[in-house]
């Protein structure tokens, strides 16, 4: 399985358009920007599955020749898997409206309902190529297929993670709105765990991530009060937003080694996170633990 981190930043990217925090200032001056969170995976190097569809998708696809068009019109993008219904993980679907066929989109049941209701992307796209909604089965691994039903060589397991519905959907009924993914290459047995947003490392996260060849995990905030320290006012804490802080006591950096993943990379990193600065004490602490801070265009083979 080939894995490409297309975007390593949380919503808004780095620099965020309206932010002048130290990381955003440095990114503007040093041209070290990060695009919003998304990953591409493939079992054969030809047919690709997107894990979340970033608002920066057009730029991300253009940056990797493996993902360029086939012939005059066409694409190696065979399917999309959504871990949640957040705007920064779904808006990129609109950028794929010129597709020649309906795009298979795997998502939790609650997210599928949101994208046909409160955030009506599926209804908007029905006027173009449209999508083929496929609900992720949380009870068993699902073999993934393209729009014609051809096997893509990967099997996907999904487990709910401890988060809340998106802000635009606070009033909706209870359902699964966030999942972590475990993808297995049916030929090599290589495993990728993808948990870009998680409020805890609990039994459900352990079921997805334990022993994975590669774990891409939520690195959104370093501390619980990070946003309040940067923007002031009554900004929500990391935990109120459903994210387990990286560096806090009982945070992910302390707990991740217990998952025994062979490699762990932090993704979905907010523009305010001090570990983005290469010379910071926070970055040093992460690297000393054997965990990597994710970067756009990182590639892995499992």
Is residue 71 predicted with pLDDT exceeding 90? Answer: no
Q: Using one digit for the tens of pLDDT, what is the confidence trace for 18-66?
A: 999 999 999 999 888 999 999 999 999 999 999 999 999 999 999 999 9
Beta strands in 84-127 (DSSP E): 103-107
Position 76 pLDDT exceeds 90: yes
How far, CA to CA in Å, does 6 sit from each of 122, 232, 268? 23, 31, 11
Q: How far is CA 245 from CA 167, 223, 275, in A?
A: 19, 5, 12
171 has a pLDDT exceeding 80: no
Given a contact cutoff of 8 angstroms between Cβ atoms, the answer to whether 202 and 173 are in contact is no
Least confidently predicted of 131-140, 167-176, 273-282: 167-176
For the four alpha carbons of 292, 294, 295 and 297, in that order, the dihedral sign comes to positive
**3-class SS at 24?**
helix
> Domains of the chain by range and CATH?
2-301 (3.60.15.10)
- pLDDT computed for residue 284 by the predictor: 97
Stated as kind and residue range, the H or E segment containing 144 is strand 142-145
How high is the mean pLDDT of the chain? 94
pLDDT at position 233, please? 78
The confidence score (pLDDT) of residue 169 equals 85
Q: How confident is the model at residue 135 (pLDDT cuts 50, 70, 90)?
A: very high
Segment 236-248, tens digit of pLDDT: 999 999 999 999 8
**How confident is the model over 82-124, as pLDDT tens digits?**
999 999 999 999 999 999 899 999 999 999 999 999 999 999 9
CB neighbourhood size of 126 (10 A): 13
Task: Locate 22 and state its tokens.
Answer: 């130290």
Going by C-alpha positions, the residue among 78, 80, 75, 51 that lies closest to residue 64 is: 75
Q: Does the structure show a pLDDT above 90 at 234? A: no
DSSP 151-194: EEEEEEEEEE-S----GGGTTSPP---BEEEEEEETTT--EEEE
**Interval 188-214: pLDDT, tens:** 999 999 999 999 999 999 999 999 999
165/16: higher pLDDT: 16
Compute the distance between CA of residue 250 and CA of residue 189 in angstroms, rounded to an integer: 32
Residue with tokens 């998106």: 166
Distance CA 38, CA 293 (A): 15
Peptide bond into 15 cis (omega under 30): yes
Q: What is the DSSP letter of 244?
A: -
Contacts of 6 (CB under 8 A, 6+ apart): 35, 38, 39, 40, 50, 54, 56, 57, 60, 61, 63, 64, 296, 297
> What pLDDT was estimated at residue 176?
79
Query: What is the pLDDT confidence band of residue 232, given thresholds at 50, 70 and 90?
Result: confident
């Amino acid at each position: 399985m080939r894995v490409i981190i297309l975007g390593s930043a949380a919503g808004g990217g780095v620099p965020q358009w309206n932010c002048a925090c130290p990381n955003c200032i440095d990114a503007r001056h040093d041209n070290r920007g990060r695009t919003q969170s998304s990953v591409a995976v493939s079992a054969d190097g030809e047919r690709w599955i997107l894990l979340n569809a970033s608002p920066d998708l057009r730029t991300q696809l253009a940056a990797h020749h493996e993902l360029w068009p086939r012939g005059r019109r066409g694409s190696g993008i065979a399917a999309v898997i959504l871990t949640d219904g957040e705007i920064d993980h779904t808006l990129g679907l609109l950028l794929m409206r010129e597709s020649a066929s309906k795009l298979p989109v795997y998502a939790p049941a609650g997210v599928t309902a949101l994208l046909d209701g409160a955030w009506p992307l599926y209804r908007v796209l029905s006027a173009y190529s449209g999508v083929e909604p496929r609900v992720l089965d949380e009870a068993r691994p699902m073999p993934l297929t393209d729009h014609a039903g051809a096997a893509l060589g990967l099997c996907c397991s999904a487990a709910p993670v401890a988060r809340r519905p998106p802000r635009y959907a606070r009033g909706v009924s209870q359902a699964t709105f966030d999942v972590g993914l475990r993808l297995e290459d049916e030929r090599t047995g290589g495993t990728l765990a993808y948990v870009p947003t998680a409020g805890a490392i609990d039994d459900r996260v352990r079921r997805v991530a334990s022993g994975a060849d590669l774990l891409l995990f939520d690195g959104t905030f370093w501390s619980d009060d990070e946003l309040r320290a940067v923007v002031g006012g009554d900004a929500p804490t990391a935990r109120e937003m459903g994210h387990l802080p990286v560096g806090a006591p009982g945070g992910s950096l302390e707990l991740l080694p217990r998952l025994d993943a062979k490699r762990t990379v932090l993704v979905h990193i907010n523009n305010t996170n001090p570990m983005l600065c290469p010379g910071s004490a926070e970055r040093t602490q992460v690297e000393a633990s054997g965990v990597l801070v994710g970067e756009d265009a990182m590639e892995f083979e499992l």
